[in-house]
Chains A and B, each alone.
Chain A
Amino acid sequence: MDPLMRVLACSALGLTVLPPLLFLAQQMEEPIMKHCMLAGTILWFLAAPWALKGGAR
């Protein structure tokens, strides 16, 4: 399960930072960017507890 969660966590971080980059490059509209970032946020908090398990300290 952990490798899958790691992929999801990485995707979540991608969804957080790539849409603003696309917005900067005028390749994405602002509302879509904000929705993608919210999706990335939700995905991150679902996947990160498993993806980062054992690395807390």
Chain B
Amino acid sequence: MCNADGQRGASTPGHQAVAATEVERPKVSNTAHAGDEFERETVPEHAQKGPTAFWGMYAGEHTAGTEFMIGPLFVAWGVSAVDLLGGLLLGNLLAVLSWRYLTAPVATRYRLTLYYQLERICGRKLVVLYNLANGILFCFLAGAMVTVSATAVGVPFPGIQMPTFQDTLPTNLAWCGTVLALGAVMTFVAIRGYGFVARVGHLAAPWMFLVFVACGLVMLGKLGSLNLMELLTPPEGHPSRIGFWGVVFFAWFCNAAMHIGMSDLSVLRFARKPSYGWASAAGMFLGHYIAWICAALLLVYWVRAKGVDPARGMAPGPMVWDAVGWAGLICVIIAGWTTANPTIYRAGLAFQSLYPRMSRATATLIAGVLCTVAGMFPAVAMKLLDFVGLYGTTLAPVGAVILADVYLAKRFGVIQEWAAATGRSFNFAVLMAWAIPLALFYWAYLQWNVFPSYMTLPVYLLTGVLYLLLGRWLQRSAVSGGG
């Protein structure tokens, strides 16, 4: 999958600021800042980067610990070979096109972070609410990564009972102890700042990808066949939960918060040209295609050769250990660690934005504790296909508000960058446009157990339409009411 801004370090969600009161575009800085973050101004020309930085970043960022879960989960869900290979191809292509034609043009036009762009539309107080949702979801995501890493740490210790895909509660005390120890180390490092981990993640990226490839090659060797179509065909009688379109929508929207949700404005604002959005192809087709298929082959082997029930599955640690030994275990731990750590760090920053007087260390500690507790419960990691859909569907709709504001607001008579133009700190139209479709989505999910990735696009489109309608109506009433 994605990590939540793994090695980016481009901007922070927790920056504290007063509401913008000017209608003009933000200033362009000509001087370098401490850290060169440009959080509340457009990125100047001298700070913009060439294409190589983006190709490398996307390739590394989308080869994370959670990829070891997603591939096998497709097998557990009984996805057929054609649906998997074809669905991933189309879904990843749509994701790349979303980055290229939705995110990158806005990012290079305004060159602002998502948080500042959003603040100018919906006001500082509503951004805080977005940060809270972001922070909580980050904690669960990081928790899933800790779970994945713990399955590798537990391999040499037979007392640790590994969770299966059907486990939702902690398996035993030793498992809790392993997660607690890992979570404590990750939180400590996150409190110290994640520069070192980001560096390790950057260095490990090419090697990690090759370990995924190695797992796939070894499994092909052990299965004695190169026929992927035959190998990925589910066993007779194994029910399929999603088909071709389920795979397409999952691959397209597993990073919905980043592309259509505009979170990657914070990264692509440093791009010289919108065409750099094509760089996301490196992440999608290496991490979300090759790595997922290689990881899927791990479970295929365990099902065929060792008689594991595909619905119960197998934890990634033992499968990778069996395939490639110590190199694989190190890969699972590093992949989980380097992606969980920045996620904890960013969740801490998001919490800090709620209580500006709280120190970053305290906020990161809270995020780390939440993440560690979440990691003890395998529910998130083992239901990752659902969780990633919930994550994207919850956060992506703010991107529809940004797109509506950038391209359609004038045509529909909505005030562009309403909060910046009026000096208000809470845009009720945005809140309603975000909350109504989301409430409908969660109701449908809880009522009918709809696969969340199917709902991302309808929720997104409805949010955009509602914002234009409500924005026109509420903003006009506010102006005529003298507000």
Contact = CB atoms under 8 A, between A and B. Distances in A.
Nearest to A57: B53
B303 to A, nearest CB: 20
A34 B203 CA distance: 21
Contacts of B331: 41
B210 A17 contact: yes
Nearest to A28: B221
Contacts of B53: 57
B217 A34 contact: no
B326 A49 contact: no
A37 B203 contact: no
Contacts of A52: 202-203
Which interface residue of A17, A34, A37, A48 has the most chain B CB atoms within 10 A? A37
B56 interface: yes
A34 B210 contact: no
B207 A48 contact: yes
A56 interface: yes
A52 B205 CA distance: 11
B217 A16 contact: no
Contacts of B207: 12-13, 16, 40-41, 44-45, 48
Interface residues of A, number: 26
Interface of A is mostly: helix
B439 interface: no
Interface string B201-215: 011101100110111
Which interface residue of A17, A33, A55, A57 has the most chain B CB atoms within 10 A? A57
A20 B203 contact: no
B327 A37 contact: yes
Interface in A9-25: 12-13, 16-17, 19-21, 23-24
Interface in B169-201: 199
Given A13-B210, A17-B210, A34 B221 contact: no
B214 A20 contact: yes
Given A49-B203, A56-B202, A34 B56 contact: no
B254 to A, nearest CB: 26
A10 to B, nearest CB: 10
Nearest to B200: A45
A20 B206 contact: no
A23 B218 contact: yes
B214 A37 contact: yes
Nearest to B7: A56
Interface in B146-166: none
Interface of A: 12-13, 16-17, 19-21, 23-24, 26, 30, 33-35, 37-38, 40-41, 44-45, 48-49, 52, 55-57
9 contacts: A16-B214, A17-B217, A24-B218, A30-B218, A37-B325, A37-B326, A38-B326, A40-B327, A41-B330
